[in-house]
Structure 1
Amino acid sequence: MTREGRSMKGRRRALVCLLSVVVMTLPLVQSSASAETDGEEPSRRNALYVLHLFSNDIATFTLDPTTGRPTPVGDLVATGTMPRGFVFTPDGRRAYTANGGDDTISGYDVDERGELSPLGEPTPVDGQVPFGIAIAPNGKTLYTANLESGTVSALAIDANGKPHLIGKPVPTGAPQPRTVSASADGRFVFVSHGLPAKGRADVMVVFAVQPDGGLKRTLAPPVPVGSGGNGSDITPDGRFIYVASTGSDVVYGFRIANDGSLSSVPGSPFPTAVFPEDAAVTPDGRHLYVTSPNHDTTVTRNVTAFSIGRDGALRPVPGSPFESAGASVGITPSRDGRRLYVGNFETHDLAAFDIGKTGVLRQLAGSPFPTGGRNPTFQGVSVPPNQGPKAAFQTKVSDRTVRFDGTGSADPDGTIARYDWTFGDGAALQDGGPTPTHVYRRPGTYQATLTVTDDEGCGTTLIFTGQTPHCTGSPAARATRTIIVQ
């Protein structure tokens, strides 16, 4: 069974008692993450959150924009019992977690400083032990995989941020549904299943998303994921999904067809460190990282790193697996993909890494960092999505010379870092700054286009890898104007 999620009906109370005794034998941690940053003011843009399974709360950190170093801010915020997963609406203003101990979802308002405020009472999911949670790319629907009841729940989010069940939970047709991943186009939901016991043949099941956000099993057959299918993540282009197989010590890779059906990528499955549990694809889609809590807490090389090929095949990054700490579980890249953050279950802390160009990990100075709570949880490290930029420009025509001014472009949570221009006459200027000048060779009517990218790499494309948005890029990052040259 997973190190932080061994909850089965009839054993839940005994399990909590047993693990509480284990936790009490570990070094004591502070009950509050309260601290003040020395430089950067807390903000939603620079926030990072860590869920704790057995203190039932959330720690908030501010990430230094230059170094990536996390600094705890504020007090721990209460969740329901045994929380897992922390997902955001696309605007980053609301967040949700699944509470496996009381079968609910907790919702939060997220203010401009990144502070969390509960959205009233938790909402029941009508299923037992919601283990995994995902939000639809459009932010209108939540999905939970309910471990003990063998179902997946769909909940619509109303205008006030409260979730409401869409019909009854849908049986998945396989035992122990564990992790739920939504496709970036919003058409499909993929659910991994199983327990990490030797000899099991667990599966991933595909659901089609209905017009109201509800789910229906597709005709695509379930695909095998070894023993204990667990954390899963999807490449930003929507072509591939990867699933950690906890009892098989591998990660499976699948190509996603247009109808949602899955077929193995070349070479799948791929070996990982012992007991892989969670997975994260970087926002650029180049690398996959897999955490392993491991059975042996003295083993600290618990983050397996892969490069992702064009065909979806995985190639180990040199030096992998990388050092983290005790029982690595939750994992997320930073919004710009330059860093990786890993929650360590046994040591109650957060490891932070720089990601090299080849995917090599290097721990930040001072890592790991105490989280202030007990036992960072599965899918319990998360950052709010980067808000996409908006392009706008003006022109001034003088004969055949046109001066362009894109300084009216804006990014709601950062700055514009790149301006790419096409002038409609076959000429283009890549990364040409906000105020280029272009001379047209002949009179005519031209369509000039500006495409902008912000300082965290967000542009025209939504970046969504299965559970929560990384970047809410959209066509608004591109603007076109008609130019008439006399």
Structure 2
Amino acid sequence: MRYLGAALVVATLVLLGIVPTATATATAAATATAATPPDDTGRSWEVAAARWDFIRGPGSTVYTGALAFLNVDDGSVRELPWGDYAPGDVAYAPDARTLYTVGLISIGDTIFDAEVHLAAHDASSGDVRWTVPLSDSQERLAVSPDGSIAITTNDRIDLTTRQVVPFDACGGTVNDGPIDVAFSPDGSTAWIVCRFRDPDRAELRAFDPATLDLLRTIELAHDVTGRIALTPDGSTAVLSGARLNLPVFNQRAVRVDLATGAVADIATDSSFMLGSISIAPDGTRAYLSVQQASDDSQDSLWAVDIATMTLAASGPLENYGTHPIVTPDGAEVFATGYGPWGEAGERAKAISAHDAATLTPLGATPPLPGAENLAVTPDQAPVARLTASEPNSPVTFDASASTVEFGSIAEYAWDFGDGVSTVTTTPTVEHEYAEPGEFTATVRLTSSGGTSTEDVYTGHQLLRNGDASAVATVTVTVPEPAVPGSGVAGELPPAGFNGATWVIAGIGMLLTGALAVVIVRRRVQPQRKDA
């Protein structure tokens, strides 16, 4: 009986040992290295507008201004005014936490008593964090793709140490000078538009941002008075407000091949093109404004096909000297401009929204007097987090703990490590591995703004701040399948197999057999005594 009990224990352990439950574990091979984003996940982009004006008093005229922030989703506007600072050009840091402006601080009683400063603002509140004085006559601003330096038309600023290095980009006479500045998308070059008089012409000058050495010069026959932007691949520059000859109103947009210096353009019909220029995230279109010179008729917002330098779309725009900016997803274009004339003969500026494909007007803000240059919040890469279930058949992969700062997560691109991949719009997916082994599964996220691991930069600031945080991996170990009832490798049982039920049944059969043996022996023994 003791021998039978020992055999029963051994049989039970054998049965437990061959139950084909999944014993492999899913372990994270690499987790997102980016810090957890703040609680304000899924928030809206904002369009920041620099506003400036004068305050005229008895015997004095001083600068004043404000920052206005337009919520792209709901159209609401918030403002932060200053009594003695008038911001001009504006650009965001790559992480969207800081907004930089170049502006004027009044130090006396006239508009000539002012200093040019670079100011760093908290992007959420608009509050000034710090300022540094710059050279005189600063108008334009660009922040490098990595956010380490800013370049204006006369200074380079280290944004960590706040060290300012003045430089003369264009030289020439007092009537010559820089018009605008833009970084190449890789940050290796700062392109400055130099305008020269007598004769009227322009040059694109390339500088090393680290040393400020002049790298090369592209001469243009055009006289350029507008702005510059670059395609995201860094191959092409587009300039606004150019002309080849008289009349001065016959202005045009110019495309420059930055490798060869080849030039193509598209001309307006007796119009100005004084405002800024914005490039679509995919690099196919340039957005700019056209202002009629002959009368007070309707002005236009243009979308120019960069490859062919033809007009792709045009929409009505009540403005003069507008500054369009495109959203990170490429869906909308915002522009500053004047509204219609009021009864008292005044025209107030506002920010208008337009469909990027057709340039159809979508609406406008209330009046924002003095609004000029615009910047849009850079979209941020999602932060991917990935887990996997035990490697049953199939394995469930779950990225629902992933987060994104702006908008939502629009796409999950899965690679299961066995040659199979798929794309979903939901954070969970199932996959069945055909063979045992160790597999590294990967998910790559893309935000609703189009941001994943790659940056999109068009000259003045990032549109999309890509990062490796958009990718997460997990390692899954799929075991050799087992054959029920034996200790050897074989085929896994069909779906729905309950190992615990079979163990109990096996133990029950063994116990029943043992009981039968005992009963038989007890019945036979008395007969032997009677004999």
Give the Cα separation in 1 of the matches to 2:50 and 2:303: 23
Which residue matches 2:310?
315
Which among 413, 426, 438 is matched to residue 420 of structure 1? 413
Which residue matches 2:158?
156
- One-letter amino acid matched to 1:256: L
Runs of 4+ in 1 over 6 A off after TM superposition: none
Q: Which has the higher contact order (CA 8 A, sep 6+)?
A: 2
2:213 pairs with 1:203: no
Deviations 1:272-323 (A, max 9, x none): 46221221012232321112344346133232211333xxx433114x2x21
Which residue matches 2:330?
337
Equivalences for 1:135-146 in 2 at 5 Å?
135-145=143-153
Which among 289, 292, 296 is matched to residue 291 of structure 1? 289
- The alpha-carbon deviation at position 420 of structure 1 amounts to 0.9
Which among 89, 95, 98 is matched to residue 99 of structure 2? 95
Partner SS for 1:230: coil
Residues 103 and 297 of structure 1: CA distance in aligned 2, closer, same or farther (over 3 Å):
farther
Does the CA contact (< 8 Å) of 1:176 and 1:193 recur in 2?
Answer: yes
Equivalences for 1:315-464 in 2 at 5 Å?
315-318=310-313, 320=314, 322-344=315-337, 347-356=347-356, 359-365=357-363, 367=364, 369-374=365-370, 376-377=371-372, 380-399=373-392, 401-464=394-457
- The alpha-carbon deviation at position 329 of structure 1 amounts to 2.0
Give the Cα separation in 1 of the matches to 2:374 and 2:169: 28
- Scaled by the length of structure 1, the TM-score of the pair is 0.76
Does the CA contact (< 8 Å) of 2:226 and 2:242 recur in 1?
Answer: yes
Give the Cα separation in 2 of the matches to 1:222 and 1:308: 19
Which among 221, 224, 227 is matched to residue 231 of structure 1? 227
Which among 155, 169, 185 is matched to residue 167 of structure 2? 169
- The alpha-carbon deviation at position 381 of structure 1 amounts to 1.2
- One-letter amino acid matched to 1:104: V
Bigger CA drift: 174-183 or 296-305?
Answer: 296-305
Residues 382 and 225 of structure 1: CA distance in aligned 2, closer, same or farther (over 3 Å):
farther
Partner SS for 1:476: helix
Give the Cα separation in 2 of the matches to 1:294 and 1:193: 25
Residues 140 and 348 of structure 1: CA distance in aligned 2, closer, same or farther (over 3 Å):
farther
- Larger helix percent: 2
Which residue matches 2:254?
252
Residues 276 and 79 of structure 1: CA distance in aligned 2, closer, same or farther (over 3 Å):
farther
Gaps of 5+ in 1: 1-40, 146-151
- The alpha-carbon deviation at position 234 of structure 1 amounts to 1.3
Which among 83, 90, 94 is matched to residue 86 of structure 1? 90
> Which entry has the higher C-alpha Rg, 1 or 2?
2
Gaps of 5+ in 2: 1-39, 55-63, 105-111, 245-250, 340-346, 480-531
Deviations 1:196-225 (A, max 9, x none): x89611111111222xxx42210x232316
Does the CA contact (< 8 Å) of 1:240 and 1:256 recur in 2?
Answer: yes
Partner SS for 1:263: coil
Bigger CA drift: 288-297 or 414-423?
Answer: 288-297
Give the Cα separation in 1 of the matches to 2:318 and 2:195: 26
- The alpha-carbon deviation at position 443 of structure 1 amounts to 2.0
Deviations 1:248-269 (A, max 9, x none): 5111112334xxxx5226xx11
Work out the percentage of aligned pairs sharing the same amino acid.
19
Residues 423 and 215 of structure 1: CA distance in aligned 2, closer, same or farther (over 3 Å):
same
Does the CA contact (< 8 Å) of 2:452 and 2:466 recur in 1?
Answer: yes
- The alpha-carbon deviation at position 407 of structure 1 amounts to 1.2
Give the Cα separation in 2 of the matches to 1:246 and 1:371: 30
Give the Cα separation in 2 of the matches to 1:326 and 1:432: 40
- The alpha-carbon deviation at position 51 of structure 1 amounts to 1.8
Give the Cα separation in 2 of the matches to 1:76 and 1:44: 24
Q: Say what the alpha-carbon RMSD is for the aligned residues.
A: 2.7
